[in-house]
Each structure stands twice: as structure tokens, then as C-alpha cells.
Amino acid sequence: MGRNMAAAYLWTLFLGMLVMVSGTMGAALRKPVDVPFGRNYVPTWAFDHISYFNGGNEIQLHLDKYTGTGFQSKGSYLFGHFSMQMKLVPGDSAGTVTAFYLSSQNSEHDEIDFEFLGNRTGQPYILQTNVFTGGKGDREQRIYLWFDPTKEFHSYSVLWNMYMIVFLVDDVPIRVFKNCKDLGVKFPFNQPMKIYSSLWNADDWATRGGLEKTDWSKAPFIASYRSFHIDGCEASVEAKFCATQGARWWDQKEFQDLDALQYRRLSWVRQKYTIYNYCTDRSRYPSMPPECKRDRDI
């Protein structure tokens, strides 16, 4: 049995054990709907660095020494479930960043980030997540993935409602950010966000703090995408509330918190794959940020 097959087998066995221990899972997330790129998204820059396949159901972003490229959603959204499948830049990807994020458009902006930091051949990708509220970020967490994200497509998702933000990889929660307004922590609730993705050169910081530079002899660097799922409350940029508040599946009581199985999966990621967590960084935060205990991130 090869290493990848063995890892997949152990992962399946592990999840099966969790189900036996936890009982049935509460409310499972609805399966994303596979739709073409053009249904929900438009290119934003360097249009000639985006390639389309299978009738627009799959696209590739290209990065070379001249430019990267990116795209954004047509609409803006207040809350929802957002997902896409990605296959990251293979081989020597040091210096490159592939980003998938939600962001509002003002100076005190809200933002929900997936950033995939490339690395030298043979070294694993780092997935960095961050949450900005009212223009304040500095809530970085970094993990390794339990698979090679360059070999096959994998699903990366955000669930965002009035109660929490959940980051998921193949439906496994890797991070939760709870609404802690009662603790004095701002939470994104009244600024509609667009969804963005981009592939760009960030060799001043992305790999080993900028020590590893992009090897342009390996260009073009290519990231692939499919399944451009959006199930959100579409709003104008000026909207301050969701007109269907409380009526959507992702806004129901069962999605106010993770269930026992999801918390066990999150704990597994924390114990096995987390390499940096701002909640435990006492050099930056002598006192633990108040949201960390509620998020069970300590």
C-alpha cells in the first residue's frame, strides 16, 4: 500500500471511529452545488492569465514573472455557505500564494481568509487563515494539510452566519471564530462581502518569511479550480442586514455551534497539524485574546 493510500485509509478509519464515539452527526452541511465559473464569478485582472476548460466548469490561474491573476464574485453577500474545489500549484511553488477569501470594501473592512503558502519541492504547503473585523486582523493560524493539495481537487469552504465563522477543508472544520461581541470583539455582521481568489507572487514573505524566493525558471505556476458554489444572502454593498435573516438553512439553530463530532475533528487538526496559533503566541499577546477560549482554540 502506497503512502497516499495508507494515509487515506487511516483517515477514513479515524473518521469512522469518531462517528462510533460521537453518535450521529448533528446537522450536516448541505452538499455544494457544482456550477460553472461564469455563473457566480468574473475575472478581475490579467484576463489572459486565466484558462477555461469543460465549458467553464474548470479554470486555471497562471502566474509568471510579469503578473498573476484573480477573480471575484459578481454579487456581495451577508452570510452564507461558500465553497470551491482547488488543486494547488505543484512542484516548486516557493514564493507563491493562492488565496481564497471574502472581503468587504471599505477602510474598516471585514475579511475571511484562506491563504495557501507555497514551498520548495518536497516540502508541504502551509494553509494560513485569518479573520479581519472592523479593519483589525492579526489573528493568523497556520496548519499543514493531511494530504498533498497539488495532486487532486479538494474542497475549501466557509460557513458564515450571525453566530460563527467556520473554515472547512473537505468538510473537516479547521477553525471556528465565534461571535464574541459580548466580550468586546467585533464580528462581521453588517458589511456585505465579495468572494475573491488570486494567484500571485509574495516571495517577500510567503515562504520562510521571505528567505525562499520564487524560481521563475519553473513558471508558469498554475492553480486549478472547479465547483464554484455560493449559497448566500445576496445584498447590495450598502445593505446592513440580510432580508432573509433566520430563513436560510445555514442560519438555523443547528448551525449556531459545531457538534461533538465536528469539535473532535477540529481538535484532531489542532493536535496533529497546527504549526502556529495566535491564541497561544504570548510574545504577541501577553494576555490571551478573549475570543480564543470560546472558540476552543487553546
For residue 93, give the DSSP letter.
-
- The active-site residue out of 108, 111, 212, 234 is 111
Q: What is the dihedral of CA 254, 260, 266, 267, to 10 degrees?
A: 160
Amino acid sitting at position 297: D
Distance in angstroms (rounded) separating the CA atoms of residues 258 and 172: 11
- The active-site residue out of 115, 212, 234, 254 is 115
- Is 115 catalytic? The answer is yes
Distance in angstroms (rounded) separating the CA atoms of residues 274 and 170: 17
- Is 152 catalytic? The answer is no
Distance in angstroms (rounded) separating the CA atoms of residues 12 and 10: 5
Convert 189-227 into a string of H (helix), E (strand) and C (coil): CCCCEEEEEEEEECCCCCCHHHCCCCCHHHCCEEEEEEE
Separation in Å, CA 81 to CA 125, 258, 289:
25, 15, 27
Please name the residue that has the C-alpha cell 524566493. 213
**What residues are labeled active site?**
111, 115
